[in-house]
Amino acid sequence: MPKIHPTAIVDARAELADDVEVGPYSIVERDVKIGSRCILAEHVIVRRFTQMGAGNRVDAGTVLGGAPQDLKFNPDTVSYLRIGDDNAFRENVTISRATGDGLATVVGSRTYWMTGAHAGHNATVEDDAILVNGSGLAGHARLGRKSILSGHVMVHQFCWVGEMVMTRGNGGISQHVPPYVMTGSGINRVAGLNVVGLRRNPEMTDEDRAQIKEAFHITYRRGLPMSKALAAMDACADWRPAAARFREFVRSVLTAVKPFNRGIVPMRRAEKNED
């Protein structure tokens, strides 16, 4: 049987695995599913239509699956927050469920959310991403796998941040950020490649890193219109999957339709980072 503190309130229509722990004064609403090995600390609220996998740890003051911060939202909507396995949600994290019947806000596995981080409705946070204190994703935004939102970085609605992106603190993003780059300070600035992250990632070979660097140079160093940069990358038929994902991200940006047609974050020469 789940271990539920006497002061906690767990709706009888919630589904909890037998080894779930629910701490003091926490609330679990109906239509919630919580998988094995999950631990909720004190004063946690898990709202209706939230689904959690196994091994998640939720710290004090966190609210999962709250109603979207969307003035158009109908409270009768059946929408979801779906969370994978082995995530850590520190104090006062907030994640909204989706806007739209049957739709979901999605969190992958092994993500780490520091104090006060937020993801809005219909957002997607992929595996192994990190959201540092006070960072936030607006509605319909996406944070790629192994990317890091540093302290107080904000991502505008409908924007995509590719995989293995490293952001600098106190920045803002209102355009799409391609994989493997480092953003600069301020708004919409690419400083260079995430060289340290690429070097430390055991998934990346020397060939991968060389091809990613080539993709970056084609996109940001040659002064080409983005359509011609994509054509130049398409000519690199021998690229391995990592560099190919960079190319396909650019293609997705160029073919995005409203409201996702936000363009790609530019290079700011004053922020140049050696790569």
Summarised one tens digit per residue, pLDDT across range 182-204 is 999 899 999 999 999 999 999 99
Q: Which residues pair with 192 in a beta bridge?
A: 182
Mean pLDDT of the chain: 96
- Domain 198-260 annotated CATH 1.25.40: no
Cα torsion angle, 91, 48, 103, 57, sign: positive
Question: What is the pLDDT, as a whole number, of residue 269?
Answer: 62
Tell whether pTM > 0.75. yes
Question: What is the pLDDT, as a whole number, of residue 185?
Answer: 85
In the chain, alpha helices (H):
195-200, 206-220, 226-234, 241-255
- Residue found under tokens 């003091």: 24
Q: Is the pLDDT of residue 244 over 70?
A: yes
